[in-house]
Structure 1
Amino acid sequence: MTDLKLMALDTEDLDVISAHVQDAVVRVADMGYARGDRRFALLMNRYDWESDKPRGKGVRKRAALHFDAVQSVVTAGFDPNAHDGVLSLLAISFIPLDGPAGMVELSFAGGGTVRLGVECLEARLSDLGAAWAAAAKPAHTLD
């Protein structure tokens, strides 16, 4: 299994990253904003969709995702101080606002969101090497 290393500088790139982190499990304590570095980062256990087997449970991999040029962070729908809290990442999107600036939105199951005000879109996703059998394959009901 190859470790992923992806970078996003536009919405098409971010769509690729979003697909790879769909259904990632994130602890609230593993997300943070380094104001001085203008970086928002999170650690996750992502479901490895590209190595998914039709009958198997699949694989989870430890991964890191960070966004640079972050000017603001707004959370909604979950308690950012609940360090034991666990979230399921559904998607990441970018809404352009003014020139290269815009809003990155991380959407979680149950309606939680993290909105990042960014000067420009710059994100990096890297697998950290650890991989293990997933307890179950993520499944979604269609509403």
Structure 2
Amino acid sequence: MTDARFEDGGDKPLRLLAADAEDLGVVAALTQDAVFPATEMSWRPAARQFALLLNRFRWEDAETAKTRSRPVERVQSVLLFDDVGKVQSQGVDQSDRDTIMSLLSLSWEAGEDGAGRMILTFAGDGAIALDCESINVTLKDVTRPYLAPSRKTPHHPE
């Protein structure tokens, strides 16, 4: 069996920009259940950027995969936060190269004058807080989709 190709479904890689809370909701939905090694986080203070290289579940394709009875997919993506002044973490150990992070949610806590705090919540009670001047987030697919190793859609019991 070979990996899926963009040409198979006519899909194009995602490149989304979030500049407000509504936009962020879309990015949050598309990155829910993304997984990545803890070592794939980067904080560049001089550039005021925080980035994750993650393997996101292709929620935008999950229903099509189900109706066509084909395996679900993941794609490697960059999730980039600009205008970041400070990064804090709790329960996140980047030094353990074997730690795999699972992103549960992105949320925005508005402050004064458009500034605020971006909260990234991970499975296992880890969290990262980014103090930002504004919502300025980019989600960009950087590889072709590939078959999800588990071949299953992530499930959240209610």
TM-score by length of 2: 0.85
Where does the alignment leave 5 or more consecutive residues of structure 2 unmatched? 1-10
Equivalent residue runs for 1:112-123 within 5 Å: 112-123=126-137
In the alignment, structure 1 residue 108 sits paired with structure 2 residue 118: no
Q: Residue 37 of structure 1 aligns to a residue in which SS?
A: coil
Runs of 4+ in 1 over 6 A off after TM superposition: none
Q: Residue 121 of structure 1 aligns to a residue in which SS?
A: coil
Identity %: 35
| Aligned AA (1:111) | D
Q: Residue 111 of structure 1 aligns to a residue in which SS?
A: coil
Larger radius of gyration, structure 1 or 2? 2
**Residues 48-101 of structure 1: per-residue CA shift (max 9 Å, x gap):** 011112254400001001111101001112213223211111110110111111
Where does the alignment leave 5 or more consecutive residues of structure 1 unmatched? none
| Aligned AA (1:103) | R
Whole-angstrom CA distance in 2 between matches of 1:75 and 1:83 = 17
**Residues 17-61 of structure 1: per-residue CA shift (max 9 Å, x gap):** 000011100211100100110000010000001111225440000
Stretch moving more, 52-61 or 27-36 = 52-61
| Aligned AA (1:51) | D
Stretch moving more, 62-71 or 47-56 = 47-56
Q: 1:90 aligns with which of 91, 104, 108?
A: 104
Whole-angstrom CA distance in 2 between matches of 1:98 and 1:68 = 18
Query: What is residue 132 of structure 1 aligned with on the other side?
Result: 146
| Conservation of the 8 A alpha-carbon contact between 1:57 and 1:135 | no
In the alignment, structure 1 residue 45 sits paired with structure 2 residue 59: no
| Conservation of the 8 A alpha-carbon contact between 2:114 and 2:133 | yes
| Aligned AA (1:123) | V
| Conservation of the 8 A alpha-carbon contact between 2:115 and 2:132 | yes
| Conservation of the 8 A alpha-carbon contact between 2:56 and 2:77 | yes
Stretch moving more, 48-57 or 5-14 = 48-57
- Shift, 1:132, TM fit: 0.8
Whole-angstrom CA distance in 2 between matches of 1:69 and 1:23 = 25
Whole-angstrom CA distance in 1 between matches of 2:70 and 2:126 = 29
Stretch moving more, 46-55 or 118-127 = 46-55
Q: Which has the higher strand share?
A: 1
Query: Over aligned residue pairs, what C-alpha RMSD do you find?
Result: 1.2
